């Protein structure tokens, strides 16, 4: 049975003390929050806070993810962080190919593919983002865009390798805009993605792949979004910066 995953992407937010306070608040509230046994909570703070968050996770009910990784193994790449470094810190997950990385830092599907390879080599689970911008949605090209991102970024993997991948569909036009894909739009794309996986790797792999929704998911709309059979949780941005909101989404 595939896992339901709620991953909090803090992006570039919080000072060290604020991050420490938020993690402690999450820990305290998770102890008294009854989650579905099949639901995983993943916290993805900025790089400087990974060690602290990882240490706390040892005594709590959440896992830890990074927000990015280098596509290189090691070497003269100033400012980069390798998958080997993340593995050595016992990080569990890593976000790859987020729309902001694609838009602001020129991250291509080919770069995403190399990052995925690095993460799998070092026993981390990639959360691989895909999704269309508003112009592509209005031009009814969203399925072509997502198919290319998944094909070029992931379909070089073997079935065994792919079984360790989590996919996050993020309609870019709904990130930080207050807009949200309707539950029907989310289900339509998630079902499309699962069908792509089935065509490539077979029904068993497809049915066991967690596909998350990312795009202005909040406590008020999470339950309706997650009620769809192919929506397996969320990649949460702004709402993950407030413990109550984040846990309300997780309980949904």
The span from the CA of 58 to the CA of 78, in Å, is 30
Instruction: Give me the catalytic one of 98, 100, 107, 122.
Output: 98
Active site residue 199: no
Instruction: Give me the catalytic one of 122, 136, 170, 190.
Output: 170
Active site residue 156: no
Report whether 154 contacts 179 (CB < 8 A): no
Active site residues: 98, 170
């Amino acid at each position: 049975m595939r896992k339901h995953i709620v991953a909090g992407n803090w992006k570039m937010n919080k000072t060290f003390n604020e991050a420490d306070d938020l993690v402690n608040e999450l820990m305290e509230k998770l102890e008294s929050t009854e989650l579905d046994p099949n639901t995983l909570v993943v916290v993805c703070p900025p790089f400087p806070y990974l060690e602290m968050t990882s240490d706390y996770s040892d005594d709590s009910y959440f896992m830890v993810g990074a927000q990015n990784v280098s596509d290189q193994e090691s070497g003269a790449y100033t400012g980069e962080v390798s998958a080997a470094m993340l593995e050595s810190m016992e990080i569990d997950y890593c976000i790859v190919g987020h729309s902001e990385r694609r838009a602001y830092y020129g991250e291509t599907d080919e770069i995403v593919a190399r990052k995925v390879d690095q993460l799998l080599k070092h026993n981390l689970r990639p959360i691989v983002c895909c999704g269309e911008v508003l112009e592509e949605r209005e031009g009814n090209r969203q399925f072509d865009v997502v198919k290319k991102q998944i094909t070029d970024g992931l379909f070089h993997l073997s079935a065994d390798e792919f079984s360790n991948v989590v996919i996050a569909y993020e309609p870019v036009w709904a990130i930080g805009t207050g807009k949200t894909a309707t539950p029907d739009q989310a289900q339509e794309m998630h079902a499309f993605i699962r069908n792509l996986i089935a065509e490539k790797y077979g029904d068993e792999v497809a049915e066991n792949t967690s596909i998350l929704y990312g795009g202005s998911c909040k406590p008020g709309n999470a339950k309706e979004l997650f009620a769809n059979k192919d929506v397996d949780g969320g990649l949460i941005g702004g709402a993950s910066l407030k413990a109550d909101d984040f846990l309300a989404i997780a309980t949904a």
